């Protein structure tokens, strides 16, 4: 019997998700019992994030170019993009509504009676300095990089996506003479995805460093001090995931639980680094493994990292109203509807980089007015704890979005999808009953 268990134990230790989990647990122990040592582990987490960020631009470029040029149908590309944006806006709007309902019912900030003048504004001065409320024209112009190469030197996804789509369209117009370039891009994409696979084996070390730093730097005191807000936010994220994502998944014949299990490694890495950006390349690979067409995945997932941040929307709405409650700032229904309208725009600037949501929160409060911007200092200590939930929702939401748009477009291998993440008794999905011809 003992001999029979050994191979199973060996396989378990060889799984990346298990290694990441062990790294996180070790990080918690080191951060708790040796806080100074834990805080010093931050470079390990930062190094892993930097390694992944280094590869995001090339991976997106190769995937989008190969997918669109291989599709050879620019009208279909526009149709897929339109469907994706429509889906993103509907789901993020639902996220904002649920967040506002939750924070108004729970009222985690009621009774705190915080005097904004007594807050340490210096603690958040750096974040406030980074916050800049962009107009719609400024936001659109920001998507265009200064040079072709500079699109790959910034951590933002949309400039890379812009030059990738432009390059792919030009490659299609070149015609047969562009075939060698397309083959080169295909070969390069395989190399970059292999590089991602190599880097991901460093995920346990990165997870250890990131968690050790979080626990060592902030400890459990922050969790107790603002426990009501954290509890409310985690409940809202859970309700949104189970109800909204659950209904969407069922509508397209997918088991939400099986989907979460399928991307468990990416979710663990996200939880450790509190950055959904770290799993962008791996997530695209996982969606292709489910039978989703490469061209759709290449458009939907990178775009979703700017337009489909459901968890970030939950965080921004919850935190903004909480700060109003904590500082006794009147925020009626009309003001909250106005806040929701602003958040529909500002949330699009909160890319999957760790800490970006906090900067956007400061920018949102500054643009709406009323709630003191300095009050964001109240949630500074617990931001990383809340980021555990918001990044989880972001990653699951973008994985589900790739499946929804793929089914809507008929660009998915249904037998593969059903075998890996389908419902045991899949219902008839209203979206695209037949897969697209391959």
Decide if 382 contacts 234 (C-beta within 8 A). no
Cα separation, 187 vs 284, in Å, equals 17
- From residue 42, give the alpha-carbon distance in Å to each of 27, 210, 217: 11, 6, 10
Cα separation, 169 vs 163, in Å, equals 10
Phi-psi region of 253 (alpha: psi -120 to 50; beta: other; left: phi over 0): left
Residue 198 corresponds to which tokens in the numbers above? 């190599």
Is 0.85 topped by the overall pTM?
A: no
* pLDDT at residue number 350: 56
- Give the chain's mean pLDDT: 82
* pLDDT at residue number 124: 54
Domains of the chain: 11-421 (1.10.3860.10)
Decide if 371 contacts 379 (C-beta within 8 A). no
Decide if 401 contacts 84 (C-beta within 8 A). yes
Decide if 395 contacts 265 (C-beta within 8 A). no
Cα separation, 7 vs 171, in Å, equals 49
Spell out, as residue ranges, where the chain has pLDDT lower than 50: 1-2, 131, 222, 352, 426-430, 432-434, 436-438
* pLDDT at residue number 2: 47
Would you say the C-alpha torsion 136, 65, 92, 382 has a positive or negative sign?
negative
Q: Which helix (H) or strand (E) holds 347?
A: none
* pLDDT at residue number 16: 79
Decide if 375 contacts 340 (C-beta within 8 A). no
Which residues on adjacent β-strands are paired with residue 412? 292
* pLDDT at residue number 189: 85
Tell me which long-range contacts 112-115 makes (C-beta under 8 A, separation of at least 24): 112/325, 112/326, 113/326, 113/328, 114/326, 114/327, 114/328, 114/375, 114/378, 115/327
Cα separation, 304 vs 35, in Å, equals 36
* pLDDT at residue number 100: 94
* pLDDT at residue number 19: 87
Q: Return the number of other C-beta atoms located less than 10 Å from residue 161's C-beta.
A: 23
Length of the chain: 438
Place of tokens 């663990």: 268
pLDDT, tens digit, for every residue of 198-247?
888 888 898 898 888 877 876 655 455 567 898 999 999 999 999 999 99
Cα separation, 216 vs 176, in Å, equals 58
Place of tokens 């390990």: 44
């Amino acid at each position: 019997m003992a001999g029979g268990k050994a191979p199973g134990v060996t396989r378990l230790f060889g799984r990346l998700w298990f290694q990441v989990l062990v790294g996180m647990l070790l990080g918690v122990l080191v951060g708790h019992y040796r806080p100074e040592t834990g805080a010093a582990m931050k470079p390990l987490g930062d190094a892993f994030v930097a390694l992944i960020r280094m590869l995001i631009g090339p991976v997106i470029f190769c995937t989008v170019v190969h997918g669109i040029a291989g599709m050879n149908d620019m009208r279909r590309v526009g149709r897929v993009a339109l469907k994706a944006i429509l889906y993103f806006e509907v789901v993020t709007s639902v996220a904002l509504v649920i967040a506002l309902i939750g924070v108004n019912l729970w009222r985690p900030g009621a009774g705190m009676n915080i005097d904004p003048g007594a807050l340490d504004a210096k603690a958040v001065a750096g974040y406030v300095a980074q916050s800049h409320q962009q107009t719609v024209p400024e936001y659109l112009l920001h998507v265009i990089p200064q040079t072709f190469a500079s699109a790959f030197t910034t951590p933002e996804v949309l400039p890379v996506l812009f030059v990738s789509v432009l390059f792919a369209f030009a490659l299609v117009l070149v015609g047969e003479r562009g075939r060698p370039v397309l083959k080169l891009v295909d070969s390069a994409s395989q190399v970059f995805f292999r590089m991602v696979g190599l880097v991901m084996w460093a995920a346990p070390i990165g997870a250890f460093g990131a968690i050790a730093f979080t626990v060592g730097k902030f400890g459990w005191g922050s969790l107790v001090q603002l426990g009501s807000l954290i509890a409310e936010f985690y409940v809202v994220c859970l309700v949104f995931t189970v109800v909204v994502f659950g209904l969407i998944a069922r509508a397209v014949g997918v088991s939400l639980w099986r989907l979460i299990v399928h991307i468990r490694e990416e979710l663990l890495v996200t939880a450790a680094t509190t950055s959904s950006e770290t799993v962008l390349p791996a997530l695209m690979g996982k969606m292709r493994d489910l039978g989703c067409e490469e061209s759709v995945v290449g458009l939907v997932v990178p775009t979703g990292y700017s337009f489909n941040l459901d968890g970030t929307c939950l965080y921004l709405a919850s935190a903004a109203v909480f700060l109003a409650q904590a500082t006794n700032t009147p925020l009626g229904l009309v003001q909250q509807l106005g806040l929701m309208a602003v958040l529909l725009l500002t949330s699009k600037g909160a890319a999957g980089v760790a800490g970006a949501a906090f900067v956007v929160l400061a920018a949102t409060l500054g643009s709406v007015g009323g709630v003191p911007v300095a009050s964001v200092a109240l949630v500074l200590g617990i931001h990383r704890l809340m980021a555990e939930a918001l990044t989880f929702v972001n990653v699951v939401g973008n994985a589900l979005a790739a499946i929804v748009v793929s089914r809507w477009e008929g660009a998915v291998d249904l037998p593969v999808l059903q075998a890996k993440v389908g419902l045991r008794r899949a219902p008839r999905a209203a979206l695209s009953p037949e897969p697209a011809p391959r």
